[in-house]
Chain A
Amino acid sequence: MAEEKKVYSRTKGIIDGAVSGFCPGCMHSTIHKLIGEAAEDLGKLDKLVRVEGVGCCGLGQFYVTCDETIAAHGRACAVATGIKRSSPDSLIYTYQGDGDLAAIGLAETMSAANRGENFTVIFVNNGIYGMTGGQMAPTTLLGMKATTAPQGRKAEEHGYPMHMCEILNQLTAPYYLERVSCDTPQNVIKTRNAIKKAFQYQLEGKGFSMVEIVTSCPTNWGLSTLDSLDFLRDKMFTEYPLGVYRDKGAEK
């Protein structure tokens, strides 16, 4: 009889037995798992520091096992700058939604990226404010309804969706920028690899990296979980094409 071998177990990056609290069909819990696995792969769970933004990501604070601090809304990249500069051996990631990173925290995001700060940004883009109940985000698609844009986003009134990978790609300093998703097993693996690569670059002292993860928000999109996936692929991926935008490590 063949010997049994354990090939998979829950990451130690998540508290044993903890339930995430995220809505069904939301990809936050998958991303949390992938972050834990990536840090574990690199043997750095004991150096891992999470700088949490404000929004649905706040639900992660009772879910992860690593050191964590909660930044004021939008300030995660500034807080991470302070931590990394004072504790260079720590493996630091910010975990931010689109409102946090691209609206209230735009200056902090751009400036940290421009300084080439040596930490990793995990940017979860679902095109809407989740925690506060479905308000319009900088990444809300044209025509998409939000509680603060009840007729849908209009270009002439609200401007256009912001593309953070493309915007940060205008700067010289960032080392690695990739946009991924978690809608299929293949994409989950790509996201895991992207996070791991970003962490690896940080450990090598390469500087700023961002992994943007385009996700669904069934609750605030007002769609079933399956319809959300269709919307994600049909609409979100069209506006936000997946792929590597910058990888200085691969250029060499």
Chain B
Amino acid sequence: MADRVFMKGTEAIAEAATRAGCRFFAGYPITPQNEIPEYFARRMPEVGGTFVQGESEVASVNMLYGAASTGIRAMSSSSSCGISLYSEGVSYCASARIPMVYVNVQRGGPGIGAIQPAQQDYLQATKASGNGGFRMIVFAPSTVQECVDMTYEAFDLAFRDENPVLVLTDGVMGTMMEPVVLPPMKSDEELKELRDAYKHRAIIGHPLGQQAYCRPGSVGTGQEEVNKEAVKLYATWDKDIRVEEYMMEDAEIVFAAYGISARISRAVIKELRAQGVKAGMIRPITISPFPYETFKNLDFNRVKGILDVEMSIPAQMRWDLDYAIQGACPIKECLRSGGQLLTNDQVMKAAQELIKEVL
């Protein structure tokens, strides 16, 4: 029977990772995600895993790069300005095609920003998490249950693609508690099998003539081939696009929101529906790959306007929305940032302004 428990977002992520077979965690303290490393510090010894408190985010992500190159399921987490320091190691993992998972519990930025929740790292997460133009699958959960499910699945995708996977959440979901159903604990036998399957390329030592190497770059002209291989991988991700369409059957006003902003939007949409307004929402669940087609294929004879709801100033997902709909209908922004949370009232007010303009 599945375990149903009441858990905080950060701790639920750590437990889900443990159940997915994560046996190495390195991280550095930063608010608002400290409960993740703290949970791992307690939990890893119980399951024969390793927790290391790195001397910095830079060191932690490079420990992750080393650990993951041995074929172990490895993870790290940080927040916004800490994630900036991860760029180096994430880029190395992407270049050398090392499977690993990391979590960004976003706070306000840029710079040290605010320690309170925000969605200020969208463009960094989806477009440039490090140098070199690599891409990753990026999950954007909007409930603690989704944090659990996506963290659990992230390891499978990381190993399937031999590429990093990012779970992009925020300080609200990280610190709030919700009931969750925890996934099954992978057995030691399963984990051994998974690790054995990776053995040929694991950096652990091999008999003469079977050398394994992890090269995050190439001498000479080889890098172009590496980059072409990566593009072939990215081209397979259409099947991995996930998106929720909420009350979209007859929607004339479409909310576009991910993560925590989608929860707030959902409540406002219910209110609008009660008032007789045909409102709905498209919620990207993977923000990379982004569900461009879902927006592009909207019936713009019916859809009169899009409300982009984000806890970021300036708007960031707006770039993807513009790219998807190419001016087919007006887009209005409803934004807060720097740790100021969106309220239902504010989103309702923005929706009503949009309705006045387009309906």
Within 8 A of B (CB), among A1-48: 12, 44-48
Of chain A, the residue at the smallest CB distance from B68 is A82
Of chain A, the residue at the smallest CB distance from B216 is A70
Give A176 to B275 CA distance when docked, in angstroms: 76
CB distance from A196 to the nearest CB of B (A): 17
Identify the stretch in A86-94, A162-170, A206-214 within 8 Å (CB) of chain B at 4 or more residues. Answer: A86-94
Task: Evaluate whether A85 and B50 lie within 8 angstroms (CB atoms) in the complex, with A91-B205, A111-B55 already known.
Answer: yes
B110-153 interface bits toward A, Cβ cutoff 8 Å, 1 = contact, 0 = none: 00000000000000000000000000000000000000000000
CB pair A69 B219 closer than 8 Å? no
Identify the stretch in B3-11, B183-191, B207-215, B265-273 within 8 Å (CB) of chain A at 4 or more residues. Answer: B207-215
Residue A223 at the chain B interface, CB threshold 8 Å: no
Residue A66 at the chain B interface, CB threshold 8 Å: yes
Contact residues in A for B65 (Cβ distance below 8 Å): 69, 71-72, 75, 79, 82
Residue A49 at the chain B interface, CB threshold 8 Å: yes
Residue B24 at the chain A interface, CB threshold 8 Å: yes
Give A104 to B83 CA distance when docked, in angstroms: 19
Contact residues in B for A44 (Cβ distance below 8 Å): 205
Identify the stretch in B56-64, B234-242, B283-291, B339-347 within 8 Å (CB) of chain A at 4 or more residues. Answer: B56-64
Select B88's contact among A45, A72, A82, beta carbons within 8 Å: A72
CB pair A70 B217 closer than 8 Å? yes
Identify the stretch in B69-77, B174-182, B306-314 within 8 Å (CB) of chain A at 4 or more residues. Answer: B69-77
CB pair B59 A46 closer than 8 Å? no
Range class of the B interface residue count? 35 or more
CB pair B205 A86 closer than 8 Å? no
Give A166 to B214 CA distance when docked, in angstroms: 33
CB distance from B216 to the nearest CB of A (A): 6
Select A68's contact among B58, B60, B70, B203, beta carbons within 8 Å: B203
Give A75 to B54 CA distance when docked, in angstroms: 12
CB pair A107 B24 closer than 8 Å? no
A75-112 interface bits toward B, Cβ cutoff 8 Å, 1 = contact, 0 = none: 10011111101110111000000000000000110110
Within 8 A of A (CB), among B84-109: 88-89, 92, 96
Select B66's contact among A48, A80, A110, A111, beta carbons within 8 Å: A80
Number of interface residues of A (CB under 8 A): 36
Of chain B, the residue at the smallest CB distance from A45 is B208
Give A243 to B304 CA distance when docked, in angstroms: 79
CB pair B24 A47 closer than 8 Å? no
Task: Evaluate whether A78 and B66 lie within 8 angstroms (CB atoms) in the complex, with A86-B24, A107-B55 already known.
Answer: yes
CB pair B203 A78 closer than 8 Å? no
B249-285 interface bits toward A, Cβ cutoff 8 Å, 1 = contact, 0 = none: 0000000000000000000000000000000000000
Task: Evaluate whether A67 and B67 lie within 8 angstroms (CB atoms) in the complex, with A72-B88, A81-B52, A108-B59 already known.
Answer: no
Select A86's contact among B56, B72, B92, beta carbons within 8 Å: B72
10 A-B residue pairings within 8 Å (CB atoms): A44-B205, A49-B203, A49-B205, A58-B219, A61-B215, A70-B96, A75-B65, A78-B66, A82-B63, A87-B202
